[in-house]
Amino acid sequence: MGEGAGFQLGTVGALSLSVVSSVSIVICNKALMSSLGFIFATTLTSWHLLVTFCSLHVALLMKLFEHKPFDRKAVLGFGVLNGISIGLLNLSLGFNSVGFYQMTKLAIIPCTVFLETVFLAKKFSRSIQFSLSILLLGVGIATVTDLQLNLLGSVLSLLAIVTTCVAQIMTNTIQKKFKVSSTQLLYQSAPYQALTLFVSGPFLDGLLTNQNVFAFNYTPQVLIFIVLSCLISVSVNFSTFLVIGKTSPVTYQVLGHLKTCLVLTFGYVLLHDPFSWRNIFGISVAIVGMVLYSYICTIEGQQKAREASSQMLQVKDNDSDPLMRAESGAGIDADGATPTATVWSSNKDLRA
């Protein structure tokens, strides 16, 4: 009971941290890019990851977490793939209309569901699929405006969708396979992500903006917002790995659409961005989908917990009465030896 309650509390904390930090960094970056003219998104992301790594290294020196090295090839591939996915998302935004870019982000959820179903044999109930459909419909109504298509932009969007889905699935599977925490995985992969974007960032930003990031006029105000953005990014990157590790890539994407709705709302309230009844209706539908998804996940989680508990009680009952098991002939192999029962851990898939 205590461990399950602790897991739920940790999950709620991770979700809350992800929402607050992501909305904060969007507002900060919007001021940095729209008001101050610093539009070099990929290079800025590489600085985010570099600051994140440095912050985690300081935390490691202070013994706030334990360094746990594991398969270097897996870390390298994961880090580079994450960096590539970020770059492709930025290119997709640069070569497509805003509406088509929003469609790209919406496509990540069904793509993730498809990949996990086909390659990881994960099952999604009809109720989960229905709630996700409502969510995607609402976000689509609220955010998708124009859908201007072009070949290069479509190819970039497709690559961005696939690499993002695979990277987020790997975030979850690596933590469970190698039994590492979100902090340990982020600490080891951040340098590779940062290096990938640090090398490609100036080129990609130059391609998208026709400006040189190194020739930009870095006023004190710009530097303050860059530092603030980098500091907030530490929480963003940490909470991303934490949420995916504790829940699933699909839940993280659902949370991402909640952030989109919140950003639209805060933009209207704080920055007086244009807002229409279509936005309000779309956000309302999306919230219904999110609430329904959360409710169904909770119900299905409780059902699985009850099934796991009954299985454990059944195993204990069988172990406590070997005579009955012997009389029924269960557990006796060809040599007359009774094999040891396999102990099932109900929380093995819940630990990051």
Say yes or no to pLDDT of 187 above 90: yes
Say yes or no to pLDDT of 134 above 70: yes
Per residue in 296-326, pLDDT (tens digit) is 988 988 888 888 777 777 776 666 555 444 4
Say yes or no to pLDDT of 344 above 60: no
Query: What gap in Å lies between CA 125 and CA 326, rounded to an integer?
Result: 39
Q: What is the pLDDT of residue 110?
A: 93
Q: What is the pLDDT of residue 147?
A: 65
Average pLDDT across the chain, whole number: 82
Are the CB atoms for 245 and 128 separated by under 8 Å?
A: no
- In the chain, where the domains are located: 9-310
Q: What is the pLDDT of residue 254?
A: 87
**Main-chain phi, psi angles of 122, to 5 degrees:** -85, 140
- Higher pLDDT among residues 7 and 242, named by residue: 242
Supply the pTM of this predicted model. 0.77
Query: What gap in Å lies between CA 165 and CA 170, rounded to an integer?
Result: 9
Task: Give the 3-state secondary structure of residue 142.
Answer: helix
Please, what is the Cα angle at 133 between 129 and 134, to 5 degrees? 120
Let me know if 61 is exposed, middle or buried by CB neighbors in 10 A (0-12, 13-18, 19+): exposed
**Main-chain phi, psi angles of 149, to 5 degrees:** -105, 145
Mean pLDDT of the region 30-52: 92
